[in-house]
Amino acid sequence: MNKTPSPGATDKTQAPCTHDELIRLLKKLGITHSTVSHEPMFTVTDSKKLRATDPSGGYTKNLFLRNKKGLMWLVTCNEDRQIDLRSLAQALAAGRFSFGSVQRLVRYLGVTPGAVSPLALVNDTGSAVRFAIDVALLNHKVIHLHPLDNCHTTTLSVESLLQFIEHTGHPPVQLQFDNQGTVRRIDPDDRLEH
């Protein structure tokens, strides 16, 4: 259940959570993190060129998607992941995917392109957006994410990210990708057996 202090983007009477409010929330939740400032990063290519954090850990590509019925997903995967959208939509039983508009992104996640990350789920207090994550990212000790803007990168443990996601009320769907971008949804219990 989302217990965030900011009602976020789904409550049209108040502004979405800001970078500074997010950092305070992480602290309040007892989530250890570090944040660095850098030039704006809009793409994975920018991120690689301007990287200001430790090269170890998970770096992400984040896709904000919707289907014909207007259902939305935030899909977070490894930064170099090739993705077959048809296979992804099939794995999530979503029908056919298209990219969500900038207006929809701002309305539901409170961020602009280039600043999308799972941390933006703090603004989806109505749980309108479903969340899916690449299991390869869960194998890292830490993950590097934009904290609601693309001029900062916040590093936190993968365990802390999952704690934060639980706090926002967005249970993650776990996805496994092959080298061609084909995707399958996996049961978290299956991961524990391997």
Q: What is the pLDDT of residue 52?
A: 66
Distance CA 164, CA 21 (A): 14
Report if pTM > 0.75.
yes
Place of tokens 């770096």: 59
Please list, in sequence order, all residues whose beta carbon lies within 8 angstroms of the beta carbon of residue 27, skipping any fewer than 6 positions away.
Answer: none
pLDDT at 15: 78
Q: Which two tokens stand for residue 36?
A: 């660095």
Whole-angstrom distance, CA of residue 156 vs CA of residue 167: 15
CA distance 102 to 89: 20
Distance CA 177, CA 49 (A): 25
CA proximity to 129, closest of 109, 106, 103: 109
- pLDDT given at position 190: 62
The per-residue pLDDT for range 119-165, each reduced to its tens digit, is 999 999 999 999 999 999 999 999 999 999 999 999 999 999 999 99
In tens, the pLDDT along 62-89 reads 999 999 999 999 999 999 898 999 999 9
Cα–chain center distance at 75: 6
- pLDDT for 129 equals 98
Domains of the chain: 19-178+182-186 (3.90.960.10)
For the four alpha carbons of 7, 13, 15 and 21, in that order, the dihedral sign comes to negative
* pLDDT tens digits along 105-123: 999 999 999 999 999 999 9
Q: How far apart are CA 7 and CA 42, in angstroms?
A: 26
Examine the pLDDT at 9 and tell me if it is beyond 50.
Answer: no
In the three-class reduction of DSSP (H, G, I as helix; E, B as strand; rest coil), residue 2 is classed as coil
Q: Which of 121, 125, 116 is nearest to 165 (CA)?
A: 121
